[in-house]
Amino acid sequence: MTPASRVRTGVLGFAFLLAVITYLDRVCISAAAPFIMDDLHLTLVEMSLVFGAFTLAYSLFEIPSGWLGDVYGPRRIITRIALWWSAFTMLTGSAGGLTSLVGIRFLFGAGEAGAFPNIARSFSRWFPLRERGQATGIMFLGSRVGGMLAVPITLLLIRRWGWRWSFVAVGSVGLVWAVAWYRWYRDRPADHPGMTPAELAWIEQDAARESGQSPTPWRALLTSSNLYTICVMYFAFGYGLYFYFTWLPTFLIRELHFSQLAGGIFAALPFLLAGVADVVGGWTTDWLARHRGLRIARCGLGCAAFSTCAAFLIASTFATEPVARAVLLALALASADLALAACWAVCLDIGAEHAGVVTGFMNTFGNLGGLVGPIVVGLAVDRSGSWLVPFYITAGVYAVGAMAWLAIDPTRQIRSR
């Protein structure tokens, strides 16, 4: 990134670490799930409710938190978010039964809601159009690094201190990040003491930036078919993604009969491959935007990625070897993640200065998909005794998401009427 990208790199570094920590805190419960189920005597369906409590709260509070970032700025709002989610991650270890565990995870989700919309909002201020896909891809590489590290780290902590203290250890990391973010970050690039005139000119190279925060165009938002199509697309993404956050370690260890060590490795593999795909996808969507236009860069790439993901999921149901099934599932997540930067960049394309609330809408529906997905998996396996049906359903959902991509118009901004 040029020129004089030192300060922008700092913003990107904070975003990367935020993504690592959020997914470390979010995914660690999937590694702890078998131990929690045994200790608290929970069934598959009851554990599905625990998983769903987080995503329900995350979905409900995503739009309000994104809107608060548009109004008050990411610096204050993200600090509040990081402190809240870290506290309730640590409190997860104090749960004494199903009711308290569901309540704590609900409050954890309410606190974490808005983290990514507010980071996207900061990107709309700190990065020109040509760099947003790359920046988003690197940020989500952080999320996949967090997801990749969460299972093996949590299993090591559980082996040493038990599942309860593992949440205390993992949750404490976010407290340190929140203090550093608040001290270093500024909502306006011009206010940062390290900013140079050359870098500020580079940031502001696109169309004139907003001179002040304009009122949120709620009517235009709520009547935008473009926004609703984006929400359908991201519902499909979230539906499939949350399997990897919730049930994957249980599936690998209890269904495919991997050892705890091998299960940890294959639970990390999807996030490793997805992290590479995030960076490649971010670079690709930016390159296509410059050379082929936004429709190909966002919609063409997104449709191809979702379709390939569905194909890998179907292929996994025909594989007979456990290793082959695990690898195909990893490739499915990587294929979907190839479009992740395009998903978030398209919100910046149509949202402009209202990117926080637009990404809040999209991520709300993504997490509604994440709410439904794990519950469907738990119910389907509980009633049918087979893990195949959930994969067929997920492949179908991704196929719908691929079609939704083709109906999105990234060139049409949402404006006040």
Residue scoring higher pLDDT (38 or 310): 310
Distance CA 180, CA 178 (A): 6
| Cα–Cα nearest to 405, from 338, 356, 360 | 338
Distance of CA 59 to the CA centre of its chain: 12
Q: How far apart are CA 129 and CA 115, in angstroms?
A: 21
CA 67/CA 346 separation, integer angstroms: 18
How many angstroms separate the first and last alpha carbons of the chain?
36
d(CA 385, CA 401): 28
Higher pLDDT, 247 or 329: 329
Per residue in 332-365, pLDDT (tens digit) is: 999 999 999 899 888 878 876 777 678 778 888 9
Place of tokens 């090591």: 156
**Where does residue 352 fall: left (phi above 0), alpha (psi -120 to 50 degrees), or beta otherwise?**
left
pTM: 0.74
The string of pLDDT tens digits covering residues 156-177 is: 888 888 889 989 998 899 999 9
Identity of the amino acid at 129: L
Q: Rounded CA gap, 323 and 321, in Å?
A: 6
Q: How confident is the model at residue 206 (pLDDT cuts 50, 70, 90)?
A: low
**Which residues fall within 8 angstroms of residue 270, CB to CB, at 6 or more apart?**
147, 244, 248, 329, 330, 332, 333, 334
Dihedral pair phi/psi, residue 111, rounded to 5°:
-75, -40
Q: Identify the top-confidence range among 30-34, 83-87, 328-332, 385-389.
A: 328-332
pLDDT range class, residue 214, cuts 50, 70, 90: low
Fold of 6-205+214-406: Growth Hormone; Chain: A; (1.20.1250)
CA dihedral 144, 19, 15, 240 (to 10 degrees): 70
- State the sign of the Cα–Cα–Cα–Cα dihedral 51, 256, 264, 339: negative
Mean residue pLDDT across the chain: 86
CA neighbor of 62 nearest in space, from 130, 111, 108: 111
- Do the Cβ atoms of 27 and 145 come closer than 8 Å? no
